[in-house]
């Protein structure tokens, strides 16, 4: 569906709910920032947005982390959940809800949804024996293991034997295949396509039924029809997306919001979101299925940055200290295109900050304000109706809108910054600073101001605070982020006659301390 078609409609976007066994790192921030930027873009389109994030608080991994910290699981979960919430506040994340799986609303929804699947005949009792990775909270079959270790965490698995309830995943092979193979025009299942093919590969290999309850631990949501059991953490966690829009509590609300659900997630949890979750929804009779947007890993020295992997934990707060909130947000979104794995580096952030924010955007704003001050008496002129920059702006907008629409923030910012660079080149060519006051310089500066107005709206999902400053500098009130697209991107709306202010550099160049 194109942006124009979804305008004014509901749009639900979610992040994974993060485990509270440790604190937030740059990998979590990457997912959450992408979801945040897309949520902000949809608000600009006038959509009614519900942006959900939260924490996943049950399971053996969390229980053990609490034991290690000498705390009750709930106290430990509360403490870490707050660290996630405060990190998102620091990063100016615009979530509309923050769900914790230990909340009563979630327990009720999990029980309601799985009871439906049970009543529909898709859950049965049996004994399970297998190799379990506590870090993944998942069983593996022997073929999946690498030298007897978990393929993701490279740690030994634990052999477990349990009386369990099983979910008849195998019954959904055909329906899952059909969903995964559906044409994009019917609403995509998983994007980018490589991940859809990966999910199809999992389904085609043959699906075994999966164990969904535990008796060995008590830290979970009790099974409503047999309270000796708790649901295995993944089957409780996935349901958070349904809980938050009212499943089992407010059917009308659920019916309104559910059909526009988009999940943003990393490739490590593709199997759960792209195979198990849709099958659970089918088993409970919930339709339609959500749309998935899957990204790769941020790598540090070639390894996934992971809290359980014991690799360097780089906290977002440290990077915000160096680059500011918008500097960090921009670099994360711009440097790592959504889909493939991508190398994360401090140098990469410095480069994005200095090149794009300081030299291109910040410089354009100061340069334009300075020339308007000197050659236009400090009053911003209106743009020319048929300016060539107007065409460049329209092209950049169309490209950025398509990229945001397909959840490609990096590509959208690329198109936006191309327009800013073209404007810097236009100024270098026109040399308005050499012109005398008069209509010629007014036209050039009006055009440049109009690009600043439009590009700032386009950049606002990534750098919401900086664009407000730029807007004010060119004499517009704040609220660039509250402009309604696509109308606000149409060339010619900068009214002229506004007072333009030079101010301090918006993004002073970052110089690494040696």
Which residue matches tokens 């191309």? 418
Which residue matches tokens 């008496």? 377
Q: Which of 50, 247, 297, 491 binds ligand ME8 (CB under 6 A)?
A: 297
- What's the closest the beta carbon of residue 479 comes to ligand ME8, in angstroms? 31
For ligand ME8, the closer CB: 306 or 375: 306
Question: What's the first-to-final CA gap in the chain, in angstroms?
Answer: 50
Overall size of the chain counted in residues = 514
- What's the closest the beta carbon of residue 314 comes to ligand ME8, in angstroms? 10
Q: Which of 35, 49, 62, 269 binds ligand ME8 (CB under 6 A)?
A: 269
Q: Which of 3, 12, 18, 245 binds ligand ME8 (CB under 6 A)?
A: 18
298 binds ligand ME8 (CB under 6 A): yes
SS3 content of the chain, % helix, strand, coil (to 5): 50, 15, 35
- Residue 59 contacts by C-beta under 8 Å, 6 or more apart in sequence? 19, 137, 217, 219, 220, 232, 233
Residues that are catalytic:
25, 28, 133, 136, 150, 153, 304, 307
The string of DSSP letters for 406-452 reads: TT-HHHHHHHHHHHHHHHHHHHHHH-GGGSPTTHHHHHHHHHHHHHH
Asked whether the beta carbons of 461 and 40 are under 8 A apart, the reply is yes
304 binds ligand ME8 (CB under 6 A): yes
Q: Which of 192, 220, 266, 327 binds ligand ME8 (CB under 6 A)?
A: 266
CA dist 499 and 480 (Å) reads 17
Stretch that binds ligand ME8, among 156-164, 232-240, 375-383, 496-504 (CB under 6 A): 232-240
Asked whether the beta carbons of 126 and 261 are under 8 A apart, the reply is no
Q: Which of 12, 13, 27, 381 binds ligand ME8 (CB under 6 A)?
A: 27
CB neighbour class for 378 (10 Å; exposed up to 12, middle 13-18, buried from 19): middle
56 binds ligand ME8 (CB under 6 A): yes
For ligand ME8, the closer CB: 306 or 354: 306
Burial of 99-111, coded b for 16+ CB within 10 Å and e otherwise, reads bbbbeebbbbbbb
Using CB positions, name the residue nearest to ligand ME8: 27
28 binds ligand ME8 (CB under 6 A): yes
- What's the closest the beta carbon of residue 129 comes to ligand ME8, in angstroms? 25
- What's the closest the beta carbon of residue 304 comes to ligand ME8, in angstroms? 4
403 binds ligand ME8 (CB under 6 A): no
Kindly identify the residues of this chain, within the stretch 451-480, that bind ligand ME8 according to CB under 6 A.
none
Which residue matches tokens 């990534």? 462
Letters for 306-325 (x = contact with ligand ME8 by CB under 6 A, - = none) are x-------------------
For ligand ME8, the closer CB: 42 or 304: 304
Q: Which of 77, 134, 223, 305 binds ligand ME8 (CB under 6 A)?
A: 305
Asked whether the beta carbons of 58 and 221 are under 8 A apart, the reply is yes
Burial of 257-282, coded b for 16+ CB within 10 Å and e otherwise, reads bbebbbbbbbbbbbbbbbbbbbbbbb
235 binds ligand ME8 (CB under 6 A): no
Alpha helices in 52-186 (DSSP H): 60-68, 73-90, 104-119, 173-181
Burial of 300-321, coded b for 16+ CB within 10 Å and e otherwise, reads beeebbbbbbebebbbbeebbe
16 binds ligand ME8 (CB under 6 A): yes
For ligand ME8, the closer CB: 34 or 416: 34
- What's the closest the beta carbon of residue 183 comes to ligand ME8, in angstroms? 27
238 binds ligand ME8 (CB under 6 A): yes
- What's the closest the beta carbon of residue 79 comes to ligand ME8, in angstroms? 15
Residues in contact with ligand ME8, total (CB under 6 A)?
Answer: 21
248 binds ligand ME8 (CB under 6 A): no
Kindly identify the residues of this chain, within the stretch 322-361, that bind ligand ME8 according to CB under 6 A.
none
The string of DSSP letters for 326-372 reads: HHHHHHHHHHS-SSS-EE--HHHHHHIIIIIIIIIIIHHHHHHHHHH
Q: Which residues bind ligand ME8 (CB under 6 A)?
A: 16-19, 27-28, 30-31, 56, 237-238, 240, 265-266, 268-269, 297-298, 304-306
């Amino acid at each position: 569906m194109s942006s124009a078609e979804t305008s004014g409609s509901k749009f639900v976007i979610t992040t994974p709910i993060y485990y509270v066994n440790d604190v937030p790192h740059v990998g979590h921030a990457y997912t959450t920032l992408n979801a945040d930027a897309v949520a902000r873009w949809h608000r600009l389109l006038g959509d009614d947005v519900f942006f959900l994030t939260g924490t996943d608080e049950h399971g053996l991994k969390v229980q053990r982390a609490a034991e290690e910290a000498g705390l009750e699981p709930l106290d430990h979960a509360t403490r870490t959940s707050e660290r996630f919430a405060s990190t998102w506040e620091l990063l100016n994340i615009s979530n509309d809800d923050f769900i914790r799986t230990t909340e009563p609303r979630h327990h009720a929804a999990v029980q309601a949804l799985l009871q439906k699947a049970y009543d529909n005949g898709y859950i049965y009792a049996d004994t399970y024996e297998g190799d379990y990775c506590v870090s993944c909270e998942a069983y593996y079959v022997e073929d999946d293991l690498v030298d007897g270790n978990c393929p993701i965490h490279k740690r030994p698995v634990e052999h477990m034997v349990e009386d369990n309830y099983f979910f008849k995943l195998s019954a959904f092979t055909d329906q899952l295949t059909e969903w995964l193979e559906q044409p994009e025009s019917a609403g995509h299942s998983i994007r980018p396509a490589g991940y859809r093919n990966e999910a199809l590969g999992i389904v085609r290999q043959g699906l075994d039924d999966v164990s969904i309850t535990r008796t060995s631990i008590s830290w979970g949501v009790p099974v409503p029809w047999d309270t000796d059991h708790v649901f295995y953490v993944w089957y409780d966690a996935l349901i958070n997306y349904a809980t938050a829009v009212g499943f089992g509590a407010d059917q009308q609300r659920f019916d309104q919001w559910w059909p526009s659900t988009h999940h943003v997630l990393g490739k490590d949890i593709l199997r759960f979101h792209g195979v198990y979750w849709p099958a659970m929804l089918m088993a409970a009779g919930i339709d339609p299925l959500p749309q998935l947007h899957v990204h790769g890993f941020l790598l540090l020295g070639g390894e996934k940055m992971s809290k359980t992997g014991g690799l360097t934990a780089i906290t977002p707060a440290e990077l915000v200290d160096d680059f500011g909130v918008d500097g960090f947000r921009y670099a994360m979104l711009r440097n790592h295109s959504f889909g493939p794995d991508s190398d994360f580096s401090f140098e990469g952030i410095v480069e994005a900050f200095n090149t794009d924010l300081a030299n291109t955007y910040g410089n354009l704003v100061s340069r334009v304000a300075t020339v308007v001050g000197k050659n236009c008496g400090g009053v911003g002129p209106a743009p020319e109706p048929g300016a060539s920059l107007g065409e460049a702006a329209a092209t950049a907008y169309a490209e950025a809108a398509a990229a945001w629409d397909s959840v490609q923030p990096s590509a959208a910012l690329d198109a936006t910054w191309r327009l800013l660079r073209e404007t810097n080149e236009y100024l270098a060519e026109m040399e308005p600073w050499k012109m005398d006051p008069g209509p010629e310089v007014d036209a050039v500066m009006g055009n440049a101001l109009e690009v600043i107005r439009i590009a700032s709206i386009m950049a606002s999902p990534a750098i919401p605070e900086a664009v407000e400053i730029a807007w004010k500098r060119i004499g517009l009130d704040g609220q660039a982020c509250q402009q309604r697209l696509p109308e606000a991107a149409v060339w010619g709306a900068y009214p002229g006659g506004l007072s333009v202010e030079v101010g301090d550099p918006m993004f002073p160049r970052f110089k690494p301390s040696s």
